[in-house]
Amino acid sequence: MAFASSGTEPAQRCREIKIVLLGDSGVGKSSIAQRYVTDTFRPHGESTIGASFMSKMIVNNGSPCKCQIWDTAGQEKYHSLAPMYYRGAAAAILVYDMTKKSSFEKLQKWVDELKERGPDGIVLCVAANKCDLEEGREVEVAEGAEFAQKSGADFFETSAKNDENVGRIFTTLVTNVQRKSCLLYTSDAADDTPCVDLGGRRII
């Protein structure tokens, strides 16, 4: 079995990174994933049922990396499914709609849940989406940035519609995961089974 390193080898060993999108319904999780993967935007996209999956190969700092992107459904009735999708994730994007304060207030719950039940060392990023709708702003930049800082997350204001900062979220997350070098996700195992290695310990 070809496990990834114990953290002493360079980031080039990082082959696949599981990234999960979390946040209230309608904040733009699917739109962010779609913008990143297909560089398109649907003004009237449908609400996600259960979850959806996309992937994209990128080369970050010279090392190829496959982003496995799990886009969860924000409707409350699907909340109980979320652990299935954040399990084994190296990174999470916590999305709120900067024109909807209630979506921002719900993010604390996701941070608490990830701390309690999520993967150890998961890398976090907060995305304040729909920043093209400045006239409808309900959450100030400083509020979002402070929340992110307290949660140990990076922070970006994004627009899936206008393609603002969407690529930067993913590049930043991949860079941070590679830098940490402690949570490496690889699919080059002999049986082709994806595995996560934490210093030699297989956890999924």
DSSP state at residue 164:
B
- The structure tokens listed for 49 are 């049922």
| Total interface residues for Mg ion by CB under 5 A | 3
Binding of ligand GTP at residue 25 (CB under 6 A)? yes
Which of 3, 41 has the CB closer to ligand GTP?
Answer: 41
CB of 196 to ligand GTP, least distance (A): 26
Which of 47, 187 has the CB closer to ligand GTP?
Answer: 47
CB of 30 to Mg ion, least distance (A): 3
Please report, for residues 32, 35, 78, 174, the alpha-carbon distance to residue 177 in angstroms, rounded to integers and kept in the order given: 20, 22, 28, 5
Among 54, 133, 145, 198, binds ligand GTP (CB under 6 A): 133
Binding of Mg ion at residue 151 (CB under 5 A)? no
| 24, 203 contact by CB (below 8 A) | no
Burial pattern 122-140, b for ≥16 Cβ within 10 A else e, equals bbbbbbbbbbbeeeeeebe
List of residues contacting ligand GTP (CB under 6 A): 25-31, 42-45, 47-48, 73-75, 129-130, 132-133, 159-161
